[in-house]
Structure 1
Amino acid sequence: MARLALNKSALSREREQLRNFERFLPSLDLKRRQLIAEREQARAQLARTGQALQTLQRETAETLPMLASGQLELDGLVRVDAVDLGRENRLGTLLPTLRQVRVKTRAYSLLARPHWVDRLAERLAERLELQIRLQVEARRVELLERAVQLITQRVNLFDKVLIPRARNNIRRLQVHLADAERAAVIRAKLAKKSRASADRTGALQ
C-alpha cells in the first residue's frame, strides 16, 4: 500500500474517495439483496421441480405396478431428441433457461405391447423433461450462489476495509495538519517575540 502523504492535497483526495465509496456502497448493497432474492426464488423453483419429479415417479409406480415385474423390455422406449437452451441476464449474471425439450418415442407394435405402454411413454417423456429442467435449475442456483458470494465480498471490501481506511486516513491527516498549523503559529509568535526583543536590545545600545 502506498505511503500516505501528510498534506492538504492528500486530505482532499481521501475525502473525495470517501464520498465515492459511501455513494457507491448503497447501490452495491441493493444489488446484493436483489441477487439474494433471485437466488431464493431459484432455490424454491429447484425444490418445486424436484418435488414434481418425485411425485411423478411415485404416481407412475402406483398407477403402473406392472413395471415391477420387469417382463417387458422397455429400455430406449423414450429418449431425448433435442434440448433447446437459452440465456437470460439477471442483475448482470447470465443464467441458462430451458426453452424446450423434444423427446422421441421408439416405434413399437400396438398389438405386441400392452395398452398401458402409451401411458408409460408419456410418463417417461415427462420424467426426462423434469430431469433436464432440474439440471438447468440447479445450474441457475449455482451461478446465483457464486454471484451472491462475489458481490458480498465487494460489499464487505467497501464497508469493512475501504471506507474505514479512508475515514482513518482523514482523521490522521486532520490531526497532523492541525498540529502543523499550531506549530507554525507558535513558531511565528516566537519569531515575532524574538524580533521584538532584538529591537529593544538594539534601541538600548
Structure 2
Amino acid sequence: MASIKHTKNELKTQREALRRFQRYLPTLQLKKQQLQLEVRQLEVTLEAERNAEAQDRAELAKWVRLFAEPVDWDHWLTVSDIRLEQGNIAGVAIPVLAGVDFSRQMPDLFSTPAWLDDGVEMLQRRIRRRLELQVLGEQLRRLADELRTTNQRVNLFEKVKIPEARENIRVIRIFLGDQMTAGVARSKMAKAKALEQETAT
C-alpha cells in the first residue's frame, strides 16, 4: 500500500476515489456478464459449425474416389470476393462475414464427369463453411481477450482499489480523530496552566 498523507484533503481525495471506483464497478461487471454470455453463445455456434463441417467431410468421403480423377477445380470454381464487415459487441470490434462471392463455370454435361456439378456445389459449401469458421474463431478470440481484460479490471476494483481506499479512509479518520483528541487535551492543559498562573498571582 502506498503511503498516504494524514490530512483532510487526502481524506477528501480518498473518498472521491472510493465513490468513483464504486460507480465504475457495476458497469464493468455488466460488461463482464455480457461478454461471458456472448462467448458462451459463440462457443455453441462454433461447435455447431464444426459439427456441420464434420458432416460435410463425411459426405465428401463419398466423393473422394471421384476427386482422384484429374479435375482443374480453379476452372470451375474460384472465390471472387470475401466480404467482411465490422461488428461491435460490448465495445469490442469483431469481424463479421457478410458474404462470399464465387465465380462458377457451368460444367458441360457432355464433356465433364456426371458428378462434377455436385462436386462443385460441395466444394463451394466447404469453402463458405471454412471461412465462417475462421471468422467465428477470430470473433471468439477477440471477445475472450476482452473478457480476460475486463475480468482483471473487475478484480482490481473489487479486491484492490475499493478495499485500499476504504482502509486509507479508516486510517486517516483515526489519525485525524487522535489529532483532535490530542488538541482538546492540550487545550485543557493550557487552560489549566493559565488558571494556575492566575491563581498564583
Contact 2:107 2:116 in 1 (8 A): no
- 3-state SS of 2:71 partner: coil
Which stretch shows the higher mean deviation, 74-83 or 164-173? 74-83
CA–CA distance in 2 between the matches of 1:3 and 1:65?
A: 72
Tell me which amino acid in the other structure corresponds to 2:16.
E
Tell me which amino acid in the other structure corresponds to 1:71.
E
Matched, 1:27 2:46: no
Structure 2 match to 1:58: 58
Tell me which amino acid in the other structure corresponds to 2:46.
L
Q: 1:71 aligns with which of 65, 69, 72?
A: 69
Tell me which amino acid in the other structure corresponds to 1:26.
P
CA–CA distance in 1 between the matches of 2:157 and 2:38?
A: 23
Query: Cα deviation per residue 1:34-82 (whole Å; 9 max; x = unaligned)?
Result: 01111111111111111111111111223x36426x1343543432121
Structure 2 match to 1:139: 138
Contact 2:107 2:117 in 1 (8 A): no
Which stretch shows the higher mean deviation, 40-49 or 170-179? 40-49
Tell me which amino acid in the other structure corresponds to 1:24.
Y
Counterparts of 1:1-205 in structure 2, within 5 Å, are 3-62=3-62, 64=63, 66-67=65-66, 70-76=68-74, 77-106=76-105, 108-202=107-201
- 3-state SS of 1:6 partner: coil
User: Percent of aligned pairs with the same residue?
Assistant: 32
- 3-state SS of 2:101 partner: strand
CA shift, 1:120, in A, is: 0.9
Query: Cα deviation per residue 1:138-173 (whole Å; 9 max; x = unaligned)?
Result: 000010011101111111121111111101100110
CA–CA distance in 2 between the matches of 1:7 and 1:29?
A: 33
TM-score of the superposed pair, with normalisation by structure 2: 0.92
- 3-state SS of 2:69 partner: coil
CA shift, 1:180, in A, is: 0.3
CA–CA distance in 2 between the matches of 1:174 and 1:39?
A: 45
Contact 2:82 2:100 in 1 (8 A): yes
CA–CA distance in 2 between the matches of 1:58 and 1:74?
A: 23
Contact 1:61 1:67 in 2 (8 A): no
CA–CA distance in 1 between the matches of 2:142 and 2:86?
A: 12
Tell me which amino acid in the other structure corresponds to 2:80.
D
- 3-state SS of 2:88 partner: strand
Gaps of 5+ in 1: none
Root-mean-square deviation (CA, aligned residues, Å) is: 1.8
- 3-state SS of 1:86 partner: strand
CA shift, 1:9, in A, is: 1.7
Gaps of 5+ in 2: none
